[in-house]
Amino acid sequence: MKRILIVEDDPDFLLGLSVRLRAAGYSILVAGHGAAAVNFAGSKPPDLILLDIGIPGGNGLIVLDLLKADPKTASIPVIVLTGRDPAAVKEKTFELGAVAFFQKPVDNDELLKAIRKHAGEGRAGNKCVNEGANPSSVSG
Q: Alpha-carbon dihedral of residues 56, 62, 65, 67, nearest 10 degrees? A: -30
pTM of the model: 0.86
Domains of the chain: 3-131 (3.40.50.2300)
Each residue's pLDDT expressed in tens, for the chain with a length of 140 residues: 899 999 998 999 999 999 999 999 999 999 988 999 999 999 989 999 999 998 876 689 999 999 999 999 999 999 999 988 888 899 999 999 999 999 999 999 999 999 999 998 876 444 444 544 443 334 33
Hey, which residues does 79 pair with through a beta bridge?
50, 100
What's the farthest any 2 CA atoms get from each other in the chain? 38
Q: How many CB atoms lie within 10 A of CB 136?
A: 9
Backbone angles phi, psi at 78, to 5 degrees: -120, 125
Orientation of helix 60-69 relative to helix 86-95, angle to 10°: 10
CB 7 within 8 A of CB 51: yes
- C-alpha distances out from residue 63 to 25, 83, 108, Å: 26, 17, 24
